[in-house]
Copies of this chain bind each other. A is one copy, B any other.
């Protein structure tokens, strides 16, 4: 059966995350329901990963199979007609029959936005974490550097995370100073549950001088979740990109 891959952008504010679950509207459910209306049959999509309630994405990938192949634009236009305004399918492409949005992913880029204004900002409230007061960005950068590389990130996962192994590779943790906003870009091979948000929470504690860069490196080595910083709130996080070994599109 032909396999297709979607690129999905969404404002996660109103959803209980990506994955279908009881008692909450989810992005996956909206996509599957819109797709079903276009295809005329129920369909399951397999994403490159999950995002938590309130987390946003501009490049979530998800694959699914179809029995008969319509022109690709028919999927995109059809699905977007049924989707609410806070979700959109940006692209649909044909992929190899054995392509898997999650298992074939080579890396992901997440962006976290901190808002540093003295007063909370209504216009930033749904896409950033308000951290009032000065942050020592130099210390945060130094601490961030210590996280880059291949490590056991057990100290940076939500308790109850069921990942088989906690070893992951971070390619880059980049701090971008944009005045009232401080952007933290994290690129890595893969991420444990809440890993980016715990990294950000810990870096903020370094920025507030509650933790030193050296202590953060020790916490990483210790593997103990209870020692790392708090989990930064969901709304500051956005999945920016998922990439694969080569161009996944086949024609």
Contact A122 B80 (CB under 8 A): no
What residues of chain B lie closer than 8 Å to A121, measured between beta carbons?
A: 9, 88
Is A164 on the interface with B (CB-CB < 8 A)?
no
Is A151 on the interface with B (CB-CB < 8 A)?
no
Residue ID in chain B nearest A118 by CB atoms: B90
Task: Please tell me the number of chain A residues within 8 Å of chain B, measured between CB atoms.
Answer: 21
Q: Which residues in chain A, 95-132, are within 8 Å of chain B measured between CB atoms?
A: 119-123, 125, 127
Is A45 on the interface with B (CB-CB < 8 A)?
no
What residues of chain B lie closer than 8 Å to A148, measured between beta carbons?
A: none
Contact A80 B119 (CB under 8 A): yes
What residues of chain B lie closer than 8 Å to A10, measured between beta carbons?
A: 122-123
Contact B9 A88 (CB under 8 A): no
Q: Which residues in chain A, 136-170, are within 8 Å of chain B measured between CB atoms?
A: none
Is A56 on the interface with B (CB-CB < 8 A)?
yes
What residues of chain B lie closer than 8 Å to A90, measured between beta carbons?
A: 119
Smallest distance from the beta carbon of A112 to chain B beta carbons, Å?
15
Smallest distance from the beta carbon of A186 to chain B beta carbons, Å?
19
Q: How many copies does the complex hold?
A: 2
Is A39 on the interface with B (CB-CB < 8 A)?
no
Contact B58 A9 (CB under 8 A): no
Smallest distance from the beta carbon of A139 to chain B beta carbons, Å?
28
Smallest distance from the beta carbon of A54 to chain B beta carbons, Å?
13
Contact A123 B80 (CB under 8 A): no
Residue ID in chain B nearest A125 by CB atoms: B85
Residue ID in chain B nearest A85 by CB atoms: B125
Is A177 on the interface with B (CB-CB < 8 A)?
no
Is A185 on the interface with B (CB-CB < 8 A)?
no
Q: Which residues in chain A, 1-17, are within 8 Å of chain B measured between CB atoms?
A: 9-11
Interface of A with B (CB < 8 Å)? Answer: 9-11, 56, 58, 76, 80, 85-90, 119-123, 125, 127, 238
For the A-B complex with A11-B122, A76-B119, A88-B121 known, give 10 more contacts whose Cβ atoms are closer than 8 Å. Answer: A9-B123, A10-B122, A11-B123, A11-B125, A80-B120, A85-B122, A85-B125, A86-B125, A87-B122, A123-B238
